[in-house]
Structure 1
Amino acid sequence: MGAMSHAPSALLNSTGSSLDAAGARKALRKQRITETLAAWSLAGPALLLLVCLFFLPVFAVFLIALTDWQFGASTLSFVGFGNFREVFADVGFRASFANTILYVLIVVPGTIILGLAIALLIESGKSCRAFYRAIHFLPFMATLTAMAIAWEALLHPTIGLVNQTLAMLGLPTANWLRDENTVLPVLAIIGIWQNLGYAMVLFLAGLKSIPQDLYDAADIDGADLWLDRLRTVTLPMLGPVTMFVFIVVALKAFETFDTVQILTQGGPGHASEMLLYTLYRESFQYLRTGYGAAVAVVFLFIVVALTLIQARVMDKKVHYQ
């Protein structure tokens, strides 16, 4: 009798435990559903905006690149990868690609080296730091179109200040923007001048984040010269900032268009033509929209690939705190 009386209570306990476990699982599923809905409600608008403003336009450009559509035409034909074959066979495209790579190879190291040097000079100064920061950051904030016109006046072959100064010093002058040997380096100098303030501000922020204890430890270890301190403390600690500046400036250099359009229009010949200007010319001057879309797709793949390679290579050499 005693054993039989304990059986119903054991059954009730097991049933209650099962109901509690089922209720807990149901509550957990409900909580997960609530968290998922909350996450999508927060990330959904941004994701939708990203899809509408980036992925859909990229997909549309790729589809157009597979056709012979011309801007304004009511008909089009599917040509497959014919536009891409034409792009890689085009001498003008190869010239603009080489010019863009050379431009990036000049602008990126020049901006990083000069930006870091100016940041170190400002940080080591005792007065007028805000004034020097504002002066060097002004070109980055200024309208590039107005600055390009100012550079065009400075580089004028007869009345420009640059040639007049060189003539006063007895040095040879040049038609800087119409000479195939000088036009691309001059555009690169303008690009460095434009991005210099941005790099300087980021390096100044990075310098302020370096603990003074590291410099004190370097002094104790005998690295009391500024070059030793720069090599052993400053540059390693600025690794993340340098990597960020490198990638941002490289992307801006690849996207150079304004100065080419205003100052040279890609000339003389193709000496200063960049990839983005080639895209503009083919799509909006010659109205070869399908071919221009193929140039845009190739340009996108080049920029993404080089950016990923740069980030991968530099990330291995960067010291993170």
Structure 2
Amino acid sequence: MSLAASTPSGKTATAAASVAQKALRRHRLAETFTAWSLAGPAIILLFALFFLPVLAVFVIALTDWQFGASSLSFVGFGNFREVIADEGFRASFVNTIVYVAIVVPGTIILGLVIALSIESGRSCRAFYRALHFLPFMATLTAMAIAWEALLHPTIGLVNQTLVSLGLPTANWLRDENTVLPTLAVIGIWQNLGYAMVLFLAGLKSIPRDLYDAADIDGADMWLDRLRTVTLPMLGPVTMFVFIVVSLRAFETFDTVQILTQGGPGHASEMLMFTLYRESFEYLRTGYGASVAVIFLFIVVALTLIQTRVMDKRVHYQ
């Protein structure tokens, strides 16, 4: 033992250091306990409402359970092999990809154009914002019924307008060639207001000094200002809109259920409708759960790819 530790003053210092360490440990334990006490309820709810249902779907996808049945058998990946070999599933997958490929860029482009038009206007901005945001707030079931009336093959306003203009008409929701683009137009109309509001918020956050600097550098035309200032500064908003609208497009179900029931044939059937039909109409719950698992992997993979690709091109302030 050292001389300093053997003296009374050394023992006092050692005892004080030990007390301080114990107090620090008690303080850290108290902080840890407080943190877990605050975060615990949210973590429990997250597991109960998200992770446990996802785990249950994974388990059911490995069985032949039918909705309402009292017994089940383990079939491994048999449901997944059946799904991949099913022509109906492949058709709904292709339809979903085509639908998303139309809705997402259409929503982003039109939402940005409308936001730029409203922002550059001098009057009635609140009215136009509310007008374009209304479809997003309206009940989709009621709006789908209204669209069904508008697209009626004989008395619908769309075909009546085309007849008055001397243009050919179509049975928009019963023709294999027009049903999917028609649903995509409705999807764009539904999401347009949401994209517009986000772009308006992004436009208001752009510093005016950047436009002044662009004018000094010779970018005084509106197209130059759009290309050099507006679009780069809207990068984070555009990425967010892209991801959210993509997820909403992948999850489309209401319009298919109300307007087409997946027909004619499988021309308008999409993944969420396939999942619903297999699980709750045909009562093939194990098969439907495997469709849900495949759908989850597709959405997560595409979201990660979109985020990685777009994040490299996004300018953050």
Structure 2 letter corresponding to 1:204: L
- The offset of 1:8, in angstroms, is 8.4
- Kindly report which structure 2 residues correspond to 1:268-283, keeping only aligned pairs within 5 A, or say none: 268-283=264-279
CA contact (8 A) 2:4 2:10 kept: no
- Kindly report which structure 2 residues correspond to 1:78-117, keeping only aligned pairs within 5 A, or say none: 78-117=74-113
SS at match of 1:185: helix
SS at match of 2:213: helix
Structure 2 letter corresponding to 1:225: M
CA contact (8 A) 2:64 2:285 kept: yes
Is 1:30 equivalent to 2:26 in the alignment?
yes
Structure 1 letter corresponding to 2:14: S
- The offset of 1:228, in angstroms, is 0.3
| Structure 2 partner of 1:173 | 169
- The worse-fitting range, judged by mean Cα deviation, of 224-233 and 18-27 is 18-27
Structure 1's unaligned 5+ residue stretches are 1-6
| Structure 2 partner of 1:16 | 12
2:249 alignment partner, one of 240, 246, 253: 253
1:210 alignment partner, one of 197, 206, 209: 206
Is 1:236 equivalent to 2:236 in the alignment?
no
How far apart in 1 are the matches of 2:128 and 2:134?
10
- The offset of 1:269, in angstroms, is 0.6
Structure 1 letter corresponding to 2:160: Q
How far apart in 1 are the matches of 2:12 and 2:88?
80
- Kindly report which structure 2 residues correspond to 1:172-211, keeping only aligned pairs within 5 A, or say none: 172-211=168-207
Structure 2 letter corresponding to 1:222: G
| Structure 2 partner of 1:160 | 156
1:53 alignment partner, one of 40, 49, 53: 49
Structure 2 letter corresponding to 1:257: F
Q: Which has the larger radius of gyration?
A: 1
SS at match of 2:7: helix
How far apart in 1 are the matches of 2:146 and 2:58?
38
Structure 2 letter corresponding to 1:139: P
How far apart in 2 are the matches of 1:274 and 1:93?
8
- Kindly report which structure 2 residues correspond to 1:142-153, keeping only aligned pairs within 5 A, or say none: 142-153=138-149
CA contact (8 A) 2:92 2:271 kept: yes
| Structure 1 partner of 2:132 | 136
How far apart in 1 are the matches of 2:111 and 2:122?
19
Structure 2 letter corresponding to 1:199: A
- The offset of 1:9, in angstroms, is 9.0
Structure 2's unaligned 5+ residue stretches are none
- The offset of 1:179, in angstroms, is 0.6
Structure 2 letter corresponding to 1:50: L
- The two structures have a TM-score, normalised by structure 2, of 0.98
How far apart in 1 are the matches of 2:105 and 2:8?
77
How far apart in 2 are the matches of 1:41 and 1:127?
51
How far apart in 2 are the matches of 1:13 and 1:304?
64
CA contact (8 A) 2:107 2:191 kept: yes
CA contact (8 A) 2:136 2:193 kept: yes
Q: Could you give the per-residue CA deviations for residues 75-131 of structure 1, whole angstroms, max 9, x where no partner exists?
A: 111101100100111100011001101111110000000000000000000000000
- The offset of 1:172, in angstroms, is 0.3
SS at match of 2:75: coil
How far apart in 1 are the matches of 2:153 and 2:5?
104
Structure 2 letter corresponding to 1:163: N
| Structure 2 partner of 1:4 | none
- The offset of 1:13, in angstroms, is 2.0
How far apart in 2 are the matches of 1:318 and 1:23?
52
- The two structures have a TM-score, normalised by structure 1, of 0.97
How far apart in 1 are the matches of 2:82 and 2:90?
11
SS at match of 1:291: helix
